[in-house]
Amino acid sequence: MATIARDIFKAYDIRGIVGKTLTNEAAYLIGRAIGTQAAEKNIRQIALGRDGRLSGPELMENLTRGITESGIDVLNVGMVATPMLYFAAWQHSEGSGVMITGSHNPPDYNGFKMMLGGETLAGELIQDLLAIIEKDVFNTSAKPGSVTEKNIAAEYQAHIVGHIKLKRPMKIVIDAGNGVAGAFAGDLYRALGCEVTELFCDVDGHFPNHHPDPAKPENLQDLIRALQESDAEIGFAFDGDGDRLGVVTKDAQIIYPDRQLMLFAQDVLSRNPGAKVIYDVKSTRLLAPWIREHGGEPVMEKTGHSFIKASMKKNGALMAGEMSGHVFFKERWFGFDDGMYAGARMLEILSAFDSPTAVLNALPNSISTPELNIHLAEGSNGHEVIAKLAQTAQFAGSDEIITIDGLRVEYPDGFGLMRASNTTPVLVLRDVLQWKAAEVGEAVAPLKVVGPANGKRGTEVTFTPSPQTFTNGDSCSTPGQNAGAIVTYACNSSRTDDAIVSISPALTDATNILVPDCSTNLTVETWRVW
């Protein structure tokens, strides 16, 4: 019996640490298993691509060896973004392809996203690969498969430029974070008529500038600065393999993917009234009513690109999106997640307006934390933790508990979410408050220092700056429950030590707030929710 690390077989892809859980031998065995499944389905060719990670070439070599030994041909499209591999699979390999990518994971990770005959491998289908390996029931062929190489970039670009038409030229900034999208995104947007400023578009598997994950605000700061220092109108950021999109406005606002989906859904529904739009469990509660308001039918689904694609097929949906930044267009496209194509669709919409910033900032919004991560030991099962919580936890005052994916607890003024990541040993938390900003007035409930921080740290949360600096006696408040945070603030123009504070009511939109022991003006620099 062949041995392989079982924990690399995730819910919707295969992913592990290179040289430890994901080895060259593992890649070979996975190739043989995929080839075996392909042979059972009478699939003759599988497209293969890889992102810019340093481990990609070796893993591709061993994966190719396993597939061809099973008698299956390989179409090698080389270093590409994940959506370009999907494109090649649909156009040239009857919907069969494997992308070697670690997506937004750290540099020492890599993995495989897989589809056979138009079906994305997920859940039990991935576990079937493991079973083939462990039972050693590989397909054998007297004649090995062949390998053909093909450059897919020009065809992919031409397909997009052929139907995406901007109303006017636009000036944009893109940040690829040294991921593989940097090799292609600039050329694509220039071909659409844009003037493009490129940040970190040299593909480098070390990711020397910042991590390629546009879901994290700290990875968007270079893009924000470039927008503010130039005459560009909008900024795009991509993850490591180019299937996710981050968006930043001229005035430094991050337009999170659930709000992007509002704009995309409005556009698609204008041509397809009554269409279904799928969104994941992490998305804002403002999205469903927006979809209904614009004549569509909202459908909530599990987080994960393979689950979303399966739901689109089941429901006949024309588009879908995830809070992570995956956007899926079936209308005018193929239905797979494509960050570069989503950027093109956004430019097409925004080019009809003089101020893209005004259009994007006008979308309904709620206050939320970014994704807060609780790291578990490698190999730990976060799903078991969530299952135990679902059985024992009590949520006073809640309206509804949704268990589609993790625990989403709905309250009258917002929701809280805890779920297990399907790619890394992490619990993901998010808290969203639906609110309208209150007027700045007399002191209502100023912050009160309740004890020293004692070096405690947490996840930084960035909020929209308040319109003024508050003086002693002033306060800004919004509706909400009591909250706890660590606040770093400057007093008398000097930085103080962190203090643990209680906030009542929660001050969710102020970066300039009152700490009573400050005799003069102060400015809060960061909130660290814990």
The model's pLDDT over 486-530, given as tens digits with 9 standing for 90+, comes to: 333 333 333 333 333 333 333 333 333 333 333 333 333 333 332
Indicate the pTM of the whole model. Answer: 0.78
Please tell me the predicted confidence (pLDDT) of residue 418.
81
pLDDT over 90 percentage in the chain: 62
CATH 3.40.120.10 range(s) for the chain read 6-150, 152-365
Mean pLDDT of the 224-239 span: 97
Q: What is the pLDDT of residues 47-83, one digit of tens each?
A: 999 999 999 999 999 999 999 999 999 999 999 999 9
Q: Which CATH superfamily is domain 152-365 in?
A: Alpha-D-Glucose-1,6-Bisphosphate, subunit A, domain 3 (3.40.120.10)
Tokens read off for 446:
């100023």
Phi, psi of 57 (to 5 degrees): -60, -45
Q: Which amino acid makes up residue 467? A: P
Poorest-confidence range of 31-40, 305-314, 349-358? Answer: 305-314
3-state DSSP call for residue 309? helix
Mean pLDDT of the 396-412 span: 78
Tokens read off for 156:
């992919």
> HEC profile for 472-521?
CCEECCCCCCCEEEEEEEEECCEECCCEEEEECCCCCCCCCCCCCCCCCC
Poorest-confidence range of 43-57, 223-237, 277-291, 418-432? Answer: 418-432
**Band of residue 431 on the pLDDT scale cut at 50, 70, 90:** low
- 368 catalytic per annotation: no
Task: Please determine, for residue 472, whether its predicted confidence score (pLDDT) is greater than 80.
Answer: no
Please tell me the predicted confidence (pLDDT) of residue 493.
35
Measure the CA dihedral 60/63/65/68, to 10°. Answer: -110
**Band of residue 463 on the pLDDT scale cut at 50, 70, 90:** very low
CATH 3.30.310.50 range(s) for the chain read 367-433
**What does CATH list as the number for 367-433?**
3.30.310.50
Q: What is the pLDDT of residues 286-345, one digit of tens each?
A: 899 999 999 999 999 988 888 899 899 999 999 999 988 999 999 999 999 999 999 999
CA 88 to CA 152: how far, in whole Å?
A: 7
3-state DSSP call for residue 267? helix
Q: Which CATH superfamily is domain 6-150 in?
A: Alpha-D-Glucose-1,6-Bisphosphate, subunit A, domain 3 (3.40.120.10)
Q: What is the pLDDT of residues 117-154, one digit of tens each?
A: 999 998 899 999 999 999 999 998 889 999 999 999 99
Beta bridge partners of 356: none
CA 338 to CA 13: how far, in whole Å?
A: 17
Nearest of 372, 524, 334, 369 to residue 446 by alpha carbon? 524
What mean pLDDT value characterizes the chain?
A: 82
Q: What is the pLDDT of residues 91-105, one digit of tens each?
A: 999 999 999 999 888
Nearest of 337, 345, 108 to residue 241 by alpha carbon? 337
Task: Please determine, for residue 461, whether its predicted confidence score (pLDDT) is greater than 70.
Answer: no
Residue tagged active-site, from 55, 93, 96, 103: 103
Please tell me the predicted confidence (pLDDT) of residue 420.
81
